[in-house]
Amino acid sequence: MRRTRFALAGVFAIVFVTTGVAIGAQDNVVGQWVGTWDGAGAGNFDLTVQKKDAGFAGKVAVTTDGGNYDAELKGVTVSGQELKATYDFPLDPSAEVAIAAKFEGEKSAGTWILRPKGGGAEVASGTFTLKKK
Would you state the pLDDT for residue 119?
A: 82
| Closest of 2, 5, 49 to residue 27, by C-alpha | 49
Would you state the pLDDT for residue 19?
A: 37
Each residue's pLDDT tens digit, 85-112: 999 999 999 999 999 999 999 999 999 9
The Cα–Cα gap between 58 and 72 comes to 6
0.95 surpassed by pTM: no
Each residue's pLDDT tens digit, 3-20: 544 443 443 333 333 333
Asked if 12 and 6 touch (Cβ cutoff 8 Å), the reply is no
Asked if 97 and 113 touch (Cβ cutoff 8 Å), the reply is yes
Each residue's pLDDT tens digit, 19-32: 333 445 577 999 99
Q: What domains appear along the chain, each with residue ranges and CATH number? A: 2-132 (2.40.128.120)
